[in-house]
Amino acid sequence: MSSSTVITNIATLVTNDPSRHGDSPLGLVRDAAVVIEGDRIAWTGASSKAPATDKRVDAGGRAVLPGFVDSHSHLVFAGDRTEEFNARMSGRPYSAGGIRTTVAATRAATDAELEANLTRLLAEALRQGTTTFETKSGYGLTVGDEARALRLAARHTDEVTFLGAHIVAPEYAEDPAGYVALVTGEMLDACAPHARWIDVFCEQGAFDGDQARAILTAGKERGLHPRVHANQLSYGPGVQLAVELDAASADHCTHLTDADVDALAGGRTVATLLPGAEFSTRAQWPDARRLLDAGATVALSTDCNPGSSFTSSMPFCIALAVREMGMTPDEAVWSATAGGARALRRTDIGHLAVGARADLTLLDAPSHVHLAYRPGVPLVSGVWRAGVRVV
C-alpha cells in the first residue's frame, strides 16, 4: 500500500474544486488540511477533521495551492540575447527576427549543452512552484535540429510541442513555400513521433493565415493537436484560426478585435496570456479583463525564451497580470493553475480535487493573494510533485 501524508495547519488552501469547497472558483478552505496518498490527492477539508496518516507535515499557518501549470515555454535553446534586450530597453522595437540569433546558437550546440540549459531552467521553474510545463522546438528549423529538440524535451515532459513553423528557416528566406512544404512533409514525419502538439507563429514576418492553416491541418492529420502563437505583435487571423481548428490554446492574444474576443468566448480554445513577453518587449499589455468579462477561459504562462520573455517565474507573471492586465489575484492564481491545465486539455492537474495528481506549492505567506501583493519576493517554500516533496 502506498504511504500517506497529511499537510495540516494550512491557513489558506486553494483547491480549484468549487463543487466541494464553497462557491468561488478557487474552492478556498481556511484552516485546512490536505492528504496525499501515493501520487494522488486523497482528501481535503478542515484541519480539525483531517484523517490519520503515516506522516504529518505542519504548514505553519501558510498557504497551499496547486502546482503551477506553465503551458507555454521555449526551453530548448542555446546562446544569449542580452544585447538585444539591452538595445530594446534603449528604444529598438522587438521583431520576430531575433529568433534567428538563437537558431544559429542552437544548431551549433551539442545535445549535452542543450540539455544542461534545459535542466537548469526546469530546476529554476520548480523552485518557483511550477510542477507541469509545456515546451517547444522552434530554434532548430532543420529536420534534424527540430527532431533533436523534441527528443530532448520529451525526456522531461509529456507536453512537447513541434514549432518548426516559428520563423521561415534562413536557408528558405527566398522560398517560404518551400519551407512550409518541408515543415508539413519531411520535418513533420521526423517530429510527430516525439510531440503531442503542433504550433505556428502566425504573425507578420513569420507565417500568414493560409500557411498556418496548412501547417496545423497537416499536424492534425498526423495526430498532433494544434495550439497557435496568435495576435502577439499585430491584429491578424491567428486567434480565429485557432478557434476554428479547435486549438487547445491561442497564445499571446495581445491585439484582439471584438470578433476575436467573441470567437474565444464561444469556443473551447483557451486564451493564454504571457505577460513576461509584454514586460520584456515593453509592449502593450493584453487585456485579460476584456476576455474574462466576455466569458473566455484565460491561462497565464511564462513564455520563457531567450528573446522576448526570459523569465521562468509564474509568480512574477501573476503579479504582472494583476497589476497590468486587470485580473484579480484570485483570477490570476486560477489562470496560472487550472487555466494552464485547460490550455493543455488536462484534467489531472491544476486542481486539488480527490484523485488529482498531488502537485502542490507551499507559500511562505498566509494566502495566495501574496503572490501579487509581494511581487518579486521568493515566496515558494515547498513543492510536491506527484506526491513527492521536491523543494
Q: Which residue positions form the known binding site? A: 72, 74, 81, 139, 166, 229, 232, 303, 305, 307-308
CA distance 37 to 357: 10
* Residues 229-248 as x/- pattern, contact with ligand NIG by CB under 6 A: x--x----------------
Q: Which residues contact 349 (CB under 8 A, 6 or more apart)?
A: 66, 67, 69, 131, 132, 341, 356, 357, 359
Partner touching 99 among ligand NIG, Fe ion, none, CB below 5 to 8 Å by kind: ligand NIG
Nearer to ligand NIG, 252 or 368 (CB): 252
What single-letter DSSP state applies at residue 51?
A: P
Question: Which window, 56-64, 300-308, 334-342, 371-379, contacts ligand NIG (CB under 6 A)?
Answer: 300-308
One residue of 68, 179, 197, 201 binding ligand NIG per CB under 6 A:
201
Phi, psi for 257 (deg, rounded to 5): -80, 170
14 near ligand NIG, rule: CB under 6 A: no
* Residue given cell 497529511 in the structure block: 6
Q: Are 165 and 140 in contact (CB under 8 A)?
A: no
Q: Which three cell numbers stand for residue 213?
A: 492553416
* Residues 308-347 as x/- pattern, contact with ligand NIG by CB under 6 A: xx--------------------------------------
Residue 122 parent element (H or E) = helix 111-127
70 near Fe ion, rule: CB under 5 A: no
CB atoms within 10 A of CB 17: 23
Residues in contact with ligand NIG, counted by CB under 6 A, come to a total of 14
**DSSP string spanning 53-74?**
-SEEEEEEEEEEEEPEEE--B-
One residue of 102, 131, 135, 211 binding ligand NIG per CB under 6 A:
102
Smallest distance, Fe ion to C-beta of residue 300, A: 13
Q: Within 70-89, which residues bind ligand NIG (CB under 6 A)?
A: 74
Half-sphere exposure of 197 (CA within 13 A, CB side): 32
Q: Which residues contact 195 (CB under 8 A, 6 or more apart)?
A: 137, 150, 154, 160, 161, 162, 224
Q: Within 300-339, which residues bind Fe ion (CB under 5 A)?
A: 303
Helix/strand/coil (H/E/C) assignment for every residue in 69-85: EECCECCCCCCCCHHHH
Smallest distance, ligand NIG to C-beta of residue 341, A: 20
CA distance 69 to 356: 14
Nearer to Fe ion, 84 or 303 (CB): 303
What are the binding residues for N-formimidoyl-L-glutamate? 139, 305, 307
In angstroms, the first-to-last Cα distance of the chain is 25
303 near ligand NIG, rule: CB under 6 A: yes
Smallest distance, ligand NIG to C-beta of residue 356, A: 29
Assign 3-state DSSP to the chain and report helix, strand, coil percentages, each to 5. Answer: 40, 25, 40
Nearer to ligand NIG, 308 or 361 (CB): 308
One residue of 277, 283, 344, 363 binding ligand NIG per CB under 6 A:
277
Question: Which window, 39-47, 94-102, 212-220, 367-375, contacts ligand NIG (CB under 6 A)?
Answer: 94-102
Question: Which window, 63-71, 306-314, 319-327, 367-375, contacts ligand NIG (CB under 6 A)?
Answer: 306-314
CA distance 245 to 215: 12
17 near Fe ion, rule: CB under 5 A: no
Binding site residues, Fe ion, CB under 5 A: 303
Binding site residues, ligand NIG, CB under 6 A: 74, 98-99, 102, 201, 229, 232, 277, 303, 305-309
